[in-house]
Copies of this chain bind each other. A is one copy, B any other.
Amino acid sequence: VSDPLLARLRDVVGAAQVLTDPDVLATYGTDWTRRFHGAPRFVVRPGGTAELAAVLAECHAAGVPVVPQGGNTSLVGGATPAAGEAVLSLARLDDLGEIDVVAGDVLAGAGVTLARLQETARAHGLRFGVDLASRDSATLGGMAATNAGGIHVLRHGMMRAQVAGIEAVLADGSVLSRLSLAGKDNTGYDLASLLVGSEGTLAVISRLRLRLVPDPPHRAVALAGFATLADLLATVAHVRDALPSLEAAALVREHTGVGAPLQGDWPLYVLFEAAGREPQELLLAEAVLDAPVPPGDAVVAADGPTQARLWAYRERHTESVNAAGVPHKFDVAVPLGALAEFVAKVEPGIRAHAPAARVITFGHVAEGNLHVNVLGVPDEAEHAVAESVLGLVAGLGGSISAEHGIGLAKRDWLHLTRPPADIAAMRALKAALDGRGILNPNVLFPAPG
Residues of B within 8 A of A402 (CB): 182, 184-186
A367 within 8 A of B: yes
A170 to B397 alpha-carbon distance, docked (Å): 24
With A337-B102, A422-B177, A433-B429 known as contacts, the answer to whether A146 contacts B186 (CB < 8 A) is yes
A403 within 8 A of B: yes
Residues of B within 8 A of A336 (CB): 102
A259 within 8 A of B: no
When the two chains form their complex, are residues B432 and A174 in contact, meaning their CB atoms are under 8 A apart? Answer: no
Residues of B within 8 A of A424 (CB): 174
When the two chains form their complex, are residues A333 and B184 in contact, meaning their CB atoms are under 8 A apart? Answer: yes
One of B160, B198, B398 near A182 (C-beta < 8 A): B398
Residues of B within 8 A of A188 (CB): 197, 406, 414, 418, 422-423, 426, 444
Chain copies in the assembled complex: 2
A5 to B62 alpha-carbon distance, docked (Å): 48
Would you call the interface of chain A mostly helix, strand, loop, or mixed? loop
Beta-carbon contacts of A410-439 to B below 8 Å, as 1s and 0s?
100010011101111110110111000000
One of B147, B170, B428 near A432 (C-beta < 8 A): B428
Residues of B within 8 A of A337 (CB): 102
Of all chain B residues, which has the CB nearest A158?
B184
Of all chain B residues, which has the CB nearest A276?
B244
When the two chains form their complex, are residues B421 and A170 in contact, meaning their CB atoms are under 8 A apart? Answer: yes
A102 to B181 alpha-carbon distance, docked (Å): 34
When the two chains form their complex, are residues B191 and A425 in contact, meaning their CB atoms are under 8 A apart? Answer: yes
Residues of B within 8 A of A405 (CB): 186-187
CB within 8 Å of B: which A110-148 residues: 146-147
Residues of B within 8 A of A183 (CB): 333, 367-368
A146 to B189 alpha-carbon distance, docked (Å): 10
Min CB–CB distance A421 → chain B (angstroms): 4
Residues of B within 8 A of A368 (CB): 182-184
Q: Which residues of A contact B (CB under 8 A)?
A: 102-103, 146-147, 149, 153, 158, 160-161, 170, 174-178, 180-191, 193-194, 196-198, 202, 244, 277, 333-337, 364, 367-369, 397-406, 410, 414, 417-419, 421-426, 428-429, 431-433, 444
29 contacts between A and B (CB under 8 A): A102-B337, A103-B335, A146-B186, A160-B193, A177-B421, A181-B399, A182-B333, A183-B368, A184-B333, A184-B364, A184-B367, A184-B399, A184-B403, A186-B401, A186-B402, A186-B404, A187-B399, A187-B414, A188-B444, A189-B194, A189-B429, A190-B194, A191-B422, A194-B194, A194-B429, A244-B277, A425-B433, A428-B432, A429-B432
